[in-house]
């Protein structure tokens, strides 16, 4: 009969075998990072996977590179050794080096879809909405069988029991989970009694969380009517629902803390507002009291029965002055009108008409006289012109008059003292000009 041993003894024995195995002391393993987390101690804990298996890994702080940035979905190669962690009895790979060699298939698909939706503007910051300050009803899309629902409801109830939560259940893992999540979200978003919606589930591998990268779900969130919080996985997990939502929460518990205000904070704010209102009211009352007292003293010192009577006398006096001025103005206008009528009546209209007629007749007579004189002058000019024309015609048969051998036909060519020669038919005569008389120049 085999003697029983303790678990610790078994693990210690197994650990000794693993440590003495030549192959397990120095191995190089390739796989895809499925889960990753950094502890407060600085050690890196992660899980490697392939298409059939998973392996827990740890890389201690002293071996980590400060520049390294490891992500879920990365394909890596690890140099290290195999060990057994006795407290949990877990086989794990102690990594000494960790080198990225590429991207896993799911991670590539994640990046391609992220790039496509980002170019369409689904992740723009301008689309982000603020969360309501004091929501009354919260919609939650999650699995009713998961721990995320319990964590969220526990924290929400502890912070503010008056908040209502409406759950739209859905699978949160699997091939068709993305489209089911989209339908569950749309049912909640169509309601008018919802203030904010949270989409949540607990941690898991990249495959487990990949339904939160489903394009149908992301586009449904983009068309949201209400503010949306994405609280999927742990802090190191990233899904496309985190990018399209208005706010990302690291965990379901963190989501409850973001959405649900603590009742004490609400009470403190209410008390602060009440105190502010009381102080404001007291200040207003004090200001009104001061204003009332000031007005009372001003009225008391500035208004008296004597001043009122004096003002009334002034009003009566002004009224009498206005009446006198109006009567005076009306009398002056009446006298001016009567004077104008008298002046009009004194004008002898018939005499003025007769005088104007005589003036017109005199002007008419002067015009006729001037016209006759003008006609007579034109007649005389016409007669002189006829005589001139006639004299020119007769000069062709008259004796020829020459001056210095040149024929003369006009007195314009002569002056007193000129010696002329007059040729007749039967002889010539020499003469001297003693005087020149010209006809009028205008002819």
| Tens digit of each residue's pLDDT (9 = 90 or more) over 65-97 | 765 667 777 888 899 999 998 888 889 999 999
Q: How far is CA 10 from the centre of its chain?
A: 74
CB 402 within 8 A of CB 421: yes
Strands 164-169 and 74-85: unpaired
pLDDT at residue number 33: 87
73: left (phi over 0), alpha (psi -120 to 50) or beta: left
Rounded average pLDDT over 134-139: 92
What is the spatial distance between Cα 272 and Cα 281, in angstroms, rounded to a whole number? 14
Domain ranges of the chain: 7-100, 106-127+135-261, 262-304
3-state secondary structure of 326: helix
Place of tokens 């002898």: 348
| Burial (0-12, 13-18, 19+ Cβ within 10 Å), 105 | exposed
Handedness of CA 354, 357, 358, 359 (dihedral sign): positive
Q: From residue 346, give the alpha-carbon distance in Å to each of 81, 147, 343, 350, 351.
A: 144, 123, 5, 12, 12
Question: Within 10 Å of residue 221's Cβ, how many Cβ atoms?
Answer: 26
Q: How far is CA 99 from the centre of its chain?
A: 51
H or E element in which residue 288 lies: helix 263-302
- Is 230's pLDDT higher than 90? yes
Q: From residue 143, give the alpha-carbon distance in Å to each of 111, 232, 233, 252, 318.
A: 26, 12, 13, 12, 92
- Both tokens of 71, joined, read 């992500």
What is the spatial distance between Cα 225 and Cα 245, in angstroms, rounded to a whole number? 12
pLDDT at residue number 405: 76
What is the spatial distance between Cα 55 and Cα 53, in angstroms, rounded to a whole number? 7
| Tens digit of each residue's pLDDT (9 = 90 or more) over 14-62 | 888 888 888 889 999 988 888 888 888 889 999 998 878 889 999 998 8
Least confident range from 175-189, 230-244, 259-273: namely 259-273
Q: How far is CA 348 from the centre of its chain?
A: 83
pLDDT at residue number 229: 95
CB 439 within 8 A of CB 388: yes
| Tens digit of each residue's pLDDT (9 = 90 or more) over 166-218 | 999 999 988 889 999 999 999 999 999 999 999 999 887 777 888 999 999 99
Q: Which CATH number fits domain 7-100: 2.40.50.140, 3.40.50.720, 3.50.50.60, 3.40.190.10?
A: 2.40.50.140
What is the spatial distance between Cα 232 and Cα 251, in angstroms, rounded to a whole number? 6
pLDDT at residue number 429: 85
Rounded average pLDDT over 133-157: 91
- What phi and psi, each to the nearest 5 degrees, are found at residue 153? -65, -35
Q: How far apart are the first and last CA of the chain?
A: 179
CB 196 within 8 A of CB 165: no
Mention the CATH class of domain 106-127+135-261: alpha beta
Instruction: Output the pTM of the full model.
Output: 0.48
Rounded average pLDDT over 426-441: 79
CB 167 within 8 A of CB 142: yes
- What phi and psi, each to the nearest 5 degrees, are found at residue 353? -65, -45
pLDDT at residue number 128: 92
| Tens digit of each residue's pLDDT (9 = 90 or more) over 303-331 | 666 777 777 888 888 888 888 888 888 88
* Alpha-carbon radius of gyration of the chain: 64
CB 168 within 8 A of CB 184: yes
- Both tokens of 315, joined, read 């009003």
Place of tokens 């170019």: 119
Rounded average pLDDT over 398-408: 77
3-state secondary structure of 396: coil
Helix axes 215-222, 177-189, angle to 10 degrees: 20
Q: How confident is the model at residue 442 (pLDDT cuts 50, 70, 90)?
A: very low
- Is 391's pLDDT higher than 60? no
- Both tokens of 14, joined, read 């197994």
């Amino acid at each position: 009969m085999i003697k029983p041993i303790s678990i610790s003894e078994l693990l210690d024995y197994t650990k000794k075998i693993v440590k003495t195995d030549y192959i397990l002391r120095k191995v190089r393993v390739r796989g895809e990072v499925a889960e990753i987390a950094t502890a407060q101690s600085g050690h890196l804990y992660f899980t490697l996977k392939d298409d059939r298996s998973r392996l827990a890994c740890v890389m201690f702080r002293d071996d980590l590179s400060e520049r390294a940035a490891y992500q879920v979905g990365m394909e890596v190669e690890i140099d290290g050794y195999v060990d057994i962690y006795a407290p949990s009895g877990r086989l794990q790979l102690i990594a000494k080096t960790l080198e990225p060699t590429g991207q896993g298939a799911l991670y590539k698909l994640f990046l391609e879809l992220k790039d496509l939706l980002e170019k369409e503007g689904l992740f723009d910051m301008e689309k982000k909405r603020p969360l309501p300050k004091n929501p009354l009803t919260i919609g939650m899309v999650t699995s009713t069988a998961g721990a995320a629902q319990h964590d969220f409801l526990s924290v929400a109830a502890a912070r503010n029991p008056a908040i209502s939560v409406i759950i739209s259940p859905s699978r949160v893992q699997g091939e068709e989970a993305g489209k089911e999540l989209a339908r569950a979200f749309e049912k909640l978003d169509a309601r008018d009694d919802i203030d904010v919606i949270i989409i949540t589930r607990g941690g898991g591998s990249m495959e487990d969380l990949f339904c939160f990268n489903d394009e149908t779900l992301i586009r449904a969130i983009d068309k949201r009517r209400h503010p949306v919080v994405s609280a999927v996985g742990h802090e190191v997990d990233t899904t496309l629902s985190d990018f399209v939502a208005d706010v990302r929460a690291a965990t379901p518990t963190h989501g409850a803390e973001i959405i649900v205000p603590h009742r004490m904070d609400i009470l403190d704010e209410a008390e602060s507002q009440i105190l502010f209102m009381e102080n404001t009211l007291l200040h207003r009352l004090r200001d009104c009291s001061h204003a009332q007292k000031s007005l009372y003293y001003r009225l008391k010192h500035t208004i008296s029965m004597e001043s009122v009577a004096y003002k009334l006398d002034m009003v009566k006096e002004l009224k009498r002055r206005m009446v006198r001025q109006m009567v005076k103005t009306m009398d002056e206008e009446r006298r001016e009108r009567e004077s104008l009528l008298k002046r009009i009546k004194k004008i002898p209209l018939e005499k003025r008409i007769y005088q104007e007629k005589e003036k017109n007749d005199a002007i008419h007579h002067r015009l006729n006289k001037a016209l006759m004189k003008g006609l007579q002058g034109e007649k005389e000019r016409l007669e002189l012109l006829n005589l001139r024309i006639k004299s020119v015609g007769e000069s062709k048969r008259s004796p020829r008059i020459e001056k210095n051998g040149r024929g003369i036909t006009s007195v314009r060519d002569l002056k007193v003292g000129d010696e002329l020669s007059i040729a007749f038919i039967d002889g010539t005569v020499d003469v001297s000009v003693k005087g020149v008389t010209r006809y009028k120049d205008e002819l």
